[in-house]
Amino acid sequence: MSNINADIKSGQLKHVYLIYGEEAYLRKQMTQNLIKALGVDENDMNFTVYKEEKPDPQGVANTIQTVPFLSDKRVTVLYDSGFCASPNDVIADCIKNIPESSYVIFNESSVKKTTGVFKAIQKVDGLVECNMPSERDLQIWIVNRAKSYNKNMTNGAWQAFSEATYSNKDIRNMEYMNNEIEKIISYCWDKDTITEEDVLAIASPTYQDHIFDMINAIGNKDSATVLRLYEELLVSKVPPMMIMSNIIRQFKHLLALDELLDNGYNPATAAKELNLYPFVVQKYLKMGMLKFFSKEDITSLLDDAASTITEIRSGKMSEKIGVELLMMKYSQR
């Protein structure tokens, strides 16, 4: 992303950019920054936006090649057009012969590096990949978001924020993290400093806590609690297959953790080996999960989970019932 920031700072903008990658929040920010740098807005007659999937290639090419009206530039922005995910000679040729007065921005969630459009943009160094930043960079970003509202953030507050959002790993992205810090900032409207207590009051990791509690209840053979937690997650709009995915992930972690501890790893080194936060491993151990499940139990559950997924995907069983039956089987006394 440094290349696009350098281009904006210098004012030497390329005629075509492809902003892509898993991090939608960054893609949105980079696109908006480029549009601002180009000095256009949605009311400009020389500014065209395509938001539909797979727009007509020739129509897009015609727009790009049209001479701007009473201006020195025409700007075209395409969101998830698909032109960078599958071959399209019309758009590839258009990019290779883009007019000096035309600027094009592709914002794409999916790309294939072998396509003609991708290669054409790569050739002019217009690629901008937006993936999840490192934890250190995320900390700097979140602390600066707080500072933009004249709020300081303690180290403990950041750690609590990181753990809370990490606990919702399946939905952890920059948009989600931005929404969470904005809620915390609003909560602390009359304070200069955001503390750990403030974070925990707003950004509690309820979703992942339910998964941990559910696995704990399965180990305790407490089917009533398992069913209650499952229903609460469904009411919270968590899809059954996401619940299944998380259960599978946790049991795979338990299986791997058990093996590492048997081989002499301590909890900290085991966490690093499994690419988990230390607090996650400590939670497994504190809740005694390894006492509840033998390796044979975990292997059997994972095999049954795989069979359940096959049944669901084949249409023989609904997602809700399939996940419920699996959990009830292993939580019965």
In the prediction, which pLDDT does 130 show? 93
Looking at residue 257, which CATH number applies to its domain?
1.20.272.10
Q: Predicted confidence band at 168 (pLDDT cuts at 50, 70, 90)?
A: low
Distance in angstroms (rounded) separating the CA atoms of residues 194 and 188 = 7
Is residue 223 within 8 Å of residue 305, measured between CB atoms? no
Distance in angstroms (rounded) separating the CA atoms of residues 111 and 115 = 8
Looking at residue 156, which CATH number applies to its domain?
1.10.8.60
Which residues form the domain of 182? Answer: 135-202
In the prediction, which pLDDT does 284 show? 82
Distance in angstroms (rounded) separating the CA atoms of residues 235 and 256 = 32
Residues 214, 149 share a domain? no
Residues 74, 21 share a domain? yes
Q: Which of 161, 181, 202 is the last residue of a domain?
A: 202
Q: With pLDDT > 70 as the criterion, what percentage of the chain qualifies?
A: 95
How many structural domains does the chain have? 3
Distance in angstroms (rounded) separating the CA atoms of residues 305 and 307 = 5
Tally DSSP H helices, then E strands, for the chain: 17, 7
Distance in angstroms (rounded) separating the CA atoms of residues 81 and 106 = 8
Is residue 48 within 8 Å of residue 40, measured between CB atoms? no
Give how far Cα 93 sits from Cα of 141, 193, 265, Å: 39, 54, 56
In the prediction, which pLDDT does 295 show? 87
Distance in angstroms (rounded) separating the CA atoms of residues 210 and 226 = 9
In the prediction, which pLDDT does 122 show? 94
Residues 147, 107 share a domain? no
In the prediction, which pLDDT does 167 show? 60
CB-based burial of residue 109 (10 Å sphere; 0-12 exposed, 13-18 middle, 19+ buried)?
Answer: middle
Q: Which of 129, 153, 188 is the last residue of a domain?
A: 129
Span 227-260, pLDDT tens digits: 998 888 887 667 788 788 888 988 998 889 989 9
Residues 125, 12 share a domain? yes
Residues 307, 194 share a domain? no
Amino acid at site 81: S
Handedness of CA 144, 146, 147, 152 (dihedral sign): negative
Helical axes 116-123 vs 89-96, angle rounded to 10°: 10
Is residue 5 within 8 Å of residue 19, measured between CB atoms? no
Structure tokens at 145: 């978001």
Residues 311, 248 share a domain? yes
* Range 287-311 average pLDDT: 88
Residues 145, 68 share a domain? no
pLDDT at 58 over 90: yes
Span 92-113, pLDDT tens digits: 999 999 999 999 999 999 999 9
Residues 160, 116 share a domain? no
Residues 63, 43 share a domain? yes
pLDDT at 126 over 80: yes
Residues 302, 219 share a domain? yes
Quick one: which H or E segment has residue 102?
Answer: strand 102-108
Is residue 327 within 8 Å of residue 226, measured between CB atoms? yes
* Range 257-285 average pLDDT: 84
Looking at residue 106, which CATH number applies to its domain?
3.40.50.300
Would you say the pTM of this structure is higher than 0.75?
Answer: no
Q: Which of 95, 129, 163 is the last residue of a domain?
A: 129
Residues 80, 44 share a domain? yes
Phi, psi of 31 (to 5 degrees): -65, -45
Residues 153, 112 share a domain? no
pLDDT at 204 over 80: no
Contacts with 312 (C-beta within 8 Å, 6 or more apart), sequence order: 241, 318, 319, 322
